[in-house]
Amino acid sequence: MASKQHENVRAPGSKPGENMLWGGRFTGGLDPLMVSYNESIYYDRAFHSQDILGSIAWARANHKGGILTESEFSAIESGLKKVEVEWAEGTFKIVPGVDEDIHTANERRLGEIIGKDIAGKLHTGRSRNEQIATDMRLWLRDELRTIESFLVDFLKVIAARAEKEIDFVMPGYTHLQRAQPIRWSHWMLSYGMAFSDDLERLREVVVRVNQSPLGCGALAGNPFNIDREGMAKELGFEGLLMNSMAAVSSRDFALETMQWGSMLMTHISRFAEDLIIYSTQEFSFVKLADAYSTGSSLMPQKKNPDSLELLRGKSGRAFGQMAGLMMTIKGIPSTYNKDLQESVEPLLDHCKTVSDSIQIATGVISTLVTNPERMKAALDPFMLATDLADYLVRKKVPFRDTHHISGQCVAFSEKTGTLMDQMSIDDFKAIDKRFEKDVLECFDYEKSVEMRSAAGGTSKASVLDQIAALKAVLA
């Protein structure tokens, strides 16, 4: 058993290690477990298009630099395009034990199509260290731009609903206790502004992701005067990474993406938590569409907000991926180390989790049914205690005094079982003689929200200003 476990793993008729890009140095075979432990082809094949685009740009630059002839470049370009067709059509055959990663697989197949003599020239002057960094950045740039479009769509829905349902008034909460009346739209925009900040941060992340490491070699640079600017332009990069050692060893772009995604998912989680509460029968402010709910296997009456609970739960998954990568890279020496291979799988899953979550959140808020009557019914006069204090402030009474006086009114209401808006003017005057008949005008929820008219407040004009600001970011 022991000898079989450690037998050489290689293609039939090949010499030990010859099919690996690094194989010439080695004369012995690899432990089969080490082969699978080391290979990344089964997940970094997600970068097949990016790897081929980068290889074509590389071959073109080497042709311009005199390394490849016109016919050699044409053969390589044509062959790589045929390889990409195989990936796209699902006919590419991975060779276990040989195709260590996407770079090895593409070059191996290229050699089968155009011959190893010409295909073997493709790798002149380059390293897989720069290839994987290039592939990851190209893939991530495009993925983040797609995620950006999903986030824009999400924010458009929030802005549209906030504008349409601006007249709905509901309790605002602190400590999950009723606090002050607010507009439903104000609640939606509280998250809209957080997601708007996420959108702006995402756009900044994309700029840093979209920098080219191609042409940096394994760590020291390229000896054939490769045109890095030309390759970067062909691949749509916005600039060059200017230190070859940093370019191949840094995964800050992946980590920053995950940090960004973790913050976004934190906001999505809190958004989901509020809606879970608001959708309970005790609140019934909102009702989820059937498309984003599930039932119980035991209790026929149940309608569970699983979409929102999964959004809340997957925030932990996203944060864990980010924290895990930080621990992976925190102690590795310069420059490239195989530890960095561990940045690929969590990045792929993180981006999918974030992308899917934004789309689910968009679906939830798009199809949500609101119940403004239940929102209104949840309001109570105690929520206007601050308005009562503000009433006396306008009569030049110091706020610290008005706060105490309003508290006495609350205590009287609780002691006598009389709702505050049902207290008589005599009741109020008995507490403080500065109360007048117009004090009863304080007990108007619509008036209360309209009084909060400073920028950022919950008055209609302020909310409309917030909607306009959000739309400006989207534009």
The Cα 275–Cα 151 span in angstroms is 19
CA atoms of 356 and 359, how far apart (whole Å):
5
- Domain holding 400, by residue range, is 381-474
Please tell me the predicted confidence (pLDDT) of residue 299. Answer: 81
Q: What pLDDT score does 214 carry?
A: 98
pLDDT for the residue numbered 448? 97
Q: Which two tokens stand for residue 445?
A: 């929820």
pLDDT of residue 72: 98
pLDDT in the model for residue 463:
98
Q: Are residues 292 and 239 in the same domain?
A: yes
Q: Are 248 and 127 in contact (CB under 8 A)?
A: yes
Judge whether 280 lies within some domain: yes
pLDDT at residue number 11: 45
Residue with tokens 């989790």: 353
296 is catalytic: yes
**C-alpha distances in Å from residue 323, one per residue of 264, 311, 313, 329:** 15, 19, 16, 10
Query: Which of 350, 377, 404 lies at the terminal end of a domain, its last residue?
Result: 377
Among the candidates 377, 397, 413, a domain finishes at 377
Provide the pLDDT for residue 20.
Answer: 58
Kindly name the residue from 71, 296, 334, 424 that is annotated as catalytic: 296
Q: How many residues does the chain have?
A: 475
Q: Are residues 105 and 134 in the same domain?
A: no
Name residue 331's amino acid. G
Number of domains in the chain: 3
Residues 336 and 405 in one domain: no
Q: CA–CA separation, 367 vs 302, rounded Å?
A: 19
User: Is residue 468 domain-shared with residue 332, that is, in the same domain?
Assistant: no
Same domain, 153 and 96: no
Same domain, 355 and 425: no
Residue segments in the chain with a per-residue pLDDT below the cut of 50: 1-16, 22
Per-residue buried b or exposed e for 105-117, using 16+ beta carbons within 10 Å of the residue's own CB: bbbbbbbebbeee
Of 198, 168, 202, 199, which is closest to residue 185 (Cα–Cα)? 168
Q: Are residues 108 and 42 in the same domain?
A: yes
**Using omega within 30 degrees of 0 as the cis cutoff, is the peptide bond preceding 335 cis?**
yes
Start-to-end CA distance of the chain, whole Å, equals 66
Model confidence over 95-128: pLDDT tens digits? 998 999 999 999 999 999 999 999 999 999 999 9
Let me know whether 347 and 455 are in one domain: no
Closest CA to 205 of 44, 354, 52: 354
Asked if the structure places residue 195 within a domain, the reply is yes
Q: Decide if 175 is catalytic.
A: yes
- Same domain, yes or no, for 63 and 153? no
Least Cα distance to 83 among 70, 60, 96, 99 occurs for 99
Residue in the structure block whose two tokens are 């679906």? 363
Per-residue model confidence (pLDDT) at position 25 = 57
Residue 23 lies in a domain: no
Q: Are 83 and 106 in contact (CB under 8 A)?
A: yes
Instruction: Please tell me whether residues 113 and 133 are part of one structural domain.
Output: no
